[in-house]
Amino acid sequence: MAQEHTRFYTVSWDQLHRDAKALSWRLASSAPFEGIVAITRGGLVPAHIVARELDIRSIDTISIASYDDSRAVEARQGDAHILKPLSDGVGTGKGWLIVDDLVDTGKTGRIVRDMLPDAHFATVYAKPAGRPIVDTFITEVSQDTWILFPWDVDLSYAKPIIVQHGSAAPGQGG
C-alpha cells in the first residue's frame, strides 16, 4: 500500500546548500574519495556541492526512476528501473562515494548499494525506512513527510490569513 504523506517539509535553495555542505563536513573524515556516483536527478545538486567541498573531480551518474509521476506533488513509487547505468571503472565502489538528496523507502538506494557494495553511501535527508542502507546523512524526517525540494516549487503570491474588504491580489489594484 502506498505511503500517505500527512506532512510537508519545504527545503529552500539556501537550506539545501547548507545541508549539503554539512554533509561534506561530515564526510571529510572519510576522504579522500576516488569519485562520486550521483543518483539522478535528485542527487546532482548535493553531489556537486560535496564534490566542490571535498575537491573530487570524478563524478559519474546513475539514473533510476521509481516514481510513477514525477510531476505530482505526491508522486507514487512504482517499480524502480535503471534509465542510465554506471560507466565502467567504478567496480564495486571501493573508494567511491554515492550521493543522493534523499533516501525514502530505500528502493532506489538498495539497487545502487547492491551494485556498489563497497562504496560509502551518503544522503542529505533520510527517512526511517531507508536509513539503514546509508552510511552518512544529515537530517532525518518522518516517513509520512513529503519533502518539497527547491526544484519542486515556485515562488508565488501567498494569500494573507485575513483579507480586508477591498484588498486585491498583487497587480490587481487596490
Residues assigned a catalytic role: 100-101, 104
Residue 112 to residue 43: CA distance in whole angstroms:
13
At which residue does the C-alpha cell 534509465 appear? 83
In this structure, what are the phi and psi dihedrals at residue 20, rounded to the nearest 5 degrees?
-70, -35
Helix (H) and strand (E) counts for the chain? 3, 8
With 0-12 / 13-18 / 19 or more C-beta atoms within 10 angstroms meaning exposed / middle / buried, residue 122 is buried
